[in-house]
Amino acid sequence: MNRRQEERVADLGRAFHEAVADIVNLGEPTPIEEPALVAYEREEVCRTSPSPAYPRLAQHVINIQQVHNGFIVSAGCQTFVFEKFETASRYMTMYFQDPEGTEQKHREGTLFSK
């Protein structure tokens, strides 16, 4: 997937989350007048704390679905789309080898930057 496609997928994901948040909020603005996606991320709905006994173990179940033109990978409450399995497996390997570091890169927005 090229940079433009990744940006488009991210835009569609943000629009989807905002639409769902608007439905949940019945069209009313969020309490502090922030965008629905920002409010959703602020609530940290899908973040889990690592197990104290095994802090480096991956905390999310990975689900891979093959579709006509690629793969949909779900990790916890996050969903990613890849055109090639090699690319998806590279990021899954990265996650399983360093879950904390990979999640940090994702939160910072640098996971898919080249």
Q: Please, what sign has the CA dihedral across residues 104, 13, 95, 62?
A: positive
Q: What is the per-residue pLDDT across 70-113, written as a single tens digit (0 to 9) for each?
A: 999 988 888 899 999 999 999 988 888 888 888 888 888 888 87
Per-residue pLDDT reduced to its tens digit, 15-67: 777 777 767 666 555 554 555 555 555 554 455 555 555 556 677 788 899 99
How far apart are the C-alpha atoms of 23 and 6, rounded to whole Å?
Answer: 26
Give dist(CA 66, CA 22) in Å, integer.
30
The pLDDT value recorded for residue 84 is 92
Domain boundaries, the chain: 1-45, 52-109
Strand 62-67 relative to strand 78-82, pairing: unpaired
Q: Which pLDDT band holds residue 13 (cuts at 50, 70, 90)?
A: confident
Residue 67, pLDDT score: 92
Distance CA 50, CA 38 (A): 23
* Helical ranges in 57-112 per DSSP H: 85-97, 99-108
Q: What is the pLDDT of residue 111?
A: 86
Q: What does the angle CA 81 – CA 83 – CA 88 come to, to the nearest 5 degrees?
A: 65
